[in-house]
Amino acid sequence: MGKSVKPVQYGGQAVIEGVMMRGPRMYAIAVRLPNGQIDVTKQDISGWASKPVFKWPVIRGCVALIDALIVGVKALTFSANKALEEEENAESTETIETETATGKKNDELGWLEIVVTVGIALVLGLVLFVGIPTASAHFLRGFVPQVVWQNILEGFIRLGIFFLYILAISRLKDIQRVFQYHGAEHKVIFNHESGQPLSVENARAFSRLHPRCGTSFLLLVVVVSIFVFALLGLNPLWWRILSRVLLMPLVAGIAYEWLKLTARHLDSPWLRWMIAGGLWLQRFTTREPDDAQLAVAIAALNGVLESGQELA
């Protein structure tokens, strides 16, 4: 008998007035235009992340994070450009050309722009979640003399900053619709994974909290870092910060493997409670979508499914 092939676990993200869904080889972006129509754009995914060495456990987690950042930046940029383009052309008679998977894209980010954008995001993330917590624990070492407890304190400071960050962005008025599309993405993926036909009526009944969400992954990264960094020794501040940066790929890889494990065994009570924190946090990063937003998410997922990517 031939080797069995596992069904694809689809994922995606919310974008400006839309949803991006991705499979193993391509992604589709569905955007709600000002005239009420849904524009669906398909694009192939670069195959660099599919090389065998990048599929090894732990390594694949770090690769998946970088790949998700690249695709995410491109999807967000495209949706923002699409929304701006539609606003500018709302009163004109110009024909709006929809991109296809094989077509040339006038608004596609170049590799240099992608590298710069992702690089800035990574630097800001490292400053906020590595530099500030590590420096704070270092300057409080007079109150916490033992190295292990200093590192644990650093981890809890990092966790506190992460919660405050999520809480702060969840209160931004402009982000509320994006969070609704985030909820729509989760509901539609649940709908597909249930085996029921994709429809607004079916998707509406599912939860907006999904165990494979990026929010849960980021929380796991923060929690895993507490345990990994607690094992490190006491060093000068510059080396403490550098050591965290160097070990971040390992932390992300462990968090990714843990997320995949729990997602495969949701029927296990002792594993299910371990994802409870991530599901709770998604209450801040998702909102209940309306039927129009569910229809957009369905269009995005159908755009991937129509390409015949049911099997990885």
Confidence band, pLDDT 50/70/90 cuts, at residue 162: very high
**Higher-pLDDT residue of 150, 82:** 150
Examine the pLDDT at 261 and tell me if it is beyond 90: no
* Report field, pTM of the whole predicted structure over 0.85: no
The model's pLDDT over 13-39, given as tens digits with 9 standing for 90+, comes to 999 899 999 988 889 999 998 888 999
The model's pLDDT over 44-62, given as tens digits with 9 standing for 90+, comes to 877 666 676 667 778 887 8
Give the end-to-end CA distance of the chain in Å, rounded to a whole number: 18
Region 280-285: mean pLDDT is: 94
Confidence band, pLDDT 50/70/90 cuts, at residue 287: very high
Mean pLDDT of the chain: 82
Examine the pLDDT at 99 and tell me if it is beyond 70: no
The model's pLDDT over 242-255, given as tens digits with 9 standing for 90+, comes to 999 899 889 999 99
The model's pLDDT over 222-236, given as tens digits with 9 standing for 90+, comes to 999 999 998 887 678
* pLDDT value, residue 185: 96
Examine the pLDDT at 140 and tell me if it is beyond 60: yes
Examine the pLDDT at 96 and tell me if it is beyond 60: no
